[in-house]
Amino acid sequence: MMADRVSRRAGLGDLAASLRAARAAKGWSQRELGGRAGLPQAQISKIETAEVDPQVSTLLELARSLDLDLRLVPRVALTAVEATVKDAVRRAGERDIIGTLNALGRLAPPSVAGPHGDDLRLTIEALRTIAPHLGTEVARYVLTQSRDQLAGAAEDGDPDDAERARETVMRNLRSLYDTHSQAAASARPAYSLDDED
């Protein structure tokens, strides 16, 4: 009896973590998810912290809102399903990052070199090469803020503000690249086999 309760609690914890991760991947707050699913934010909070045992109808509505599908999976296939889901979430995150980098590329002034000869577009291209390693919340935040800063400066129309924004964005993106390129380099294999080897 006690083992059943522990197993059930662990299952709710896994479910709660999955829902929280799916909501975070969409960039939604609990209130936004609640609005889309027709549930109060307080209930979303309780579900995400495994304080309540949600009904199947509630789970179905949350899954639909998050563009997910609720399925029963045989335990023997669970590892493969989890790996597939993890990979899909990673790829979706990479697509979001590439989309933000593309927006930055469109907003970057063409071939404008900064005071140290740095070119914003070259930095953006360099970041594209390490996009799989930019999945941290900090990296996403820096990229989004940089995009918004360049967009705001472009709308403002003041050349001095645009130059200051470009310099700030350049500095932030260079720092982001320097930080994450080290992780990308350490993730590469020490050698690779060519087809001829």
CATH 1.10.260.40 is right for the domain spanning 2-70:
yes
* 25 vs 111: which has the higher pLDDT: 25
Q: Is residue 153 scored above 70 in pLDDT?
A: yes
pLDDT bracket for residue 116 (50, 70, 90): very low
What is the mean predicted confidence (pLDDT) over 163-176? Answer: 89
What is the mean predicted confidence (pLDDT) over 55-64? Answer: 91
- Do residues 124 and 142 touch, judged by C-beta distance below 8 A? no
Residue 83, pLDDT score? 86
Question: What distance in Å separates the CA atoms of residue 138 and residue 135, rounded to the nearest whole number?
Answer: 8
DSSP per-residue codes, 140-188? HHHHHHHHHHHHHHHHH--HHHHHHHHHHHHHHHHHHHHHHHHHHHHHS
Q: Which of 11-20, 83-92, 103-112, 128-137 has the lowest mean pLDDT?
A: 103-112
What is the mean predicted confidence (pLDDT) over 151-173? Answer: 86
Q: Is residue 39 scored above 60 in pLDDT?
A: yes
Question: What distance in Å separates the CA atoms of residue 32 and residue 35, rounded to the nearest whole number?
Answer: 5
What is the mean predicted confidence (pLDDT) over 167-181? Answer: 89
Residue 93, pLDDT score? 79
Backbone conformation region of residue 62, classed left if phi is above 0, alpha if psi is from -120 to 50, else beta: alpha
Residue 44, pLDDT score? 93
Domain spans of the chain?
2-70, 76-187
Model-wide pTM > 0.75:
no
